[in-house]
């Protein structure tokens, strides 16, 4: 498992033993970021990023390598957090990283303080466990996504996340879905986001 782009391209990350964590495949991460870059005119420098169900931290670290200014990693498993810390140290991005030990379902505004909203939110939950809509609800309830931001949920190819999701004044639209083998990537934006670009 390696970083696929940016200043740390080619750097090998610490990977889990066994099936505790399912890291995103290198080719899926590379495709994901090629698409994300299109939303930001090929430049994600100075963006704030949230990595939910962070696992090894590979998604957030990929973003930091590609220029994101800050990444908040949310993970509840202490063994996974140890991997994230090792990988953060390997890339030398300690000052641009924050780890929050929490179940995503229990997150509150207090966890993030002044960091809300985020420009990019990446979520790689366990497949087929119903986390997709939980993430959509949490993003809307806490107003985590910036007006021009992008939320990406990685799920199983047999998942069926909604084309749109509305909670109070927040409406998220599924702009596109990409499938790679057993994986599906759902890209959500705020209603009207593309009108401002």
Q: How far apart are CA 126 and CA 148, in angstroms?
A: 27
In this predicted model, what pLDDT tens digit does every residue of 128-159 receive, in sequence order?
899 999 999 999 999 999 999 999 999 999 99
Could you tell me the two tokens for 31? 């495709």
Are the CB atoms for 44 and 37 separated by under 8 Å? yes
Residue 32 has pLDDT above 90, yes or no: yes
- How far lies 98's CA from each of 29, 82, 112, in Å? 21, 13, 10
Could you tell me the two tokens for 15? 């990977």
Beta strands in the chain (DSSP E): 48-52, 70-75, 97-101, 118-123, 145-156, 164-167, 170-180, 183-190
pLDDT average, residue stretch 172-186: 94
Residue 2 has pLDDT above 90, yes or no: no
In this predicted model, what pLDDT tens digit does every residue of 34-63 receive, in sequence order?
999 999 999 999 899 999 999 999 999 999
Q: pLDDT band for 99, please (50, 70, 90 cuts).
A: very high
Identify the residue whose tokens are 């992008």.
150
pLDDT average, residue stretch 74-94: 95
Alpha helices, DSSP H only, in the chain?
A: 26-39, 58-65, 78-91, 109-112, 131-141
Supply the pLDDT for residue 23. Answer: 55
Supply the pLDDT for residue 147. Answer: 94
Q: How far apart are CA 68 and CA 61, in angstroms?
A: 9
pTM recorded for the entire structure: 0.92
For residue 125, give the 3-state DSSP assignment: coil
Angle at 133 between CA 130 and CA 136, to 5 degrees: 145
Name all domains of the chain by residue range, CATH numbers in brackets: 46-196 (3.40.50.150)
How much of the chain, in percent, has pLDDT values that exceed 70? 94
């Amino acid at each position: 498992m390696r970083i696929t782009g940016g200043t740390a391209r080619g750097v090998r990350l610490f990977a889990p033993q066994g099936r505790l964590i399912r890291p995103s495949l290198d080719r899926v991460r590379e495709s994901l970021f090629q698409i994300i870059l299109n939303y930001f005119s090929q430049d994600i420098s100075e963006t704030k990023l949230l990595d939910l169900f962070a696992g090894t931290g590979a998604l957030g670290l990929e973003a930091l390598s590609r220029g994101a200014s800050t990444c908040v990693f949310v993970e509840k498993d202490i063994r996974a957090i140890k991997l994230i810390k090792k990988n953060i140290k390997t890339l030398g991005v300690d000052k641009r990283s924050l780890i929050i030990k929490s179940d995503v379902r229990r997150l509150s505004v207090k966890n993030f303080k002044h960091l809300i909203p985020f420009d990019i939110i990446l979520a790689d939950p366990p497949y087929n466990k119903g986390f997709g809509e939980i993430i959509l609800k949490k993003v809307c309830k806490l107003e985590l996504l910036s007006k021009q931001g992008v939320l990406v949920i990685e799920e199983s190819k047999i998942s069926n996340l909604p084309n749109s999701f509305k909670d109070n004044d927040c409406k998220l639209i599924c702009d596109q879905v990409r499938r790679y083998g057993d994986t599906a990537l759902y890209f959500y934006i705020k209603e009207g986001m593309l009108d401002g670009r």
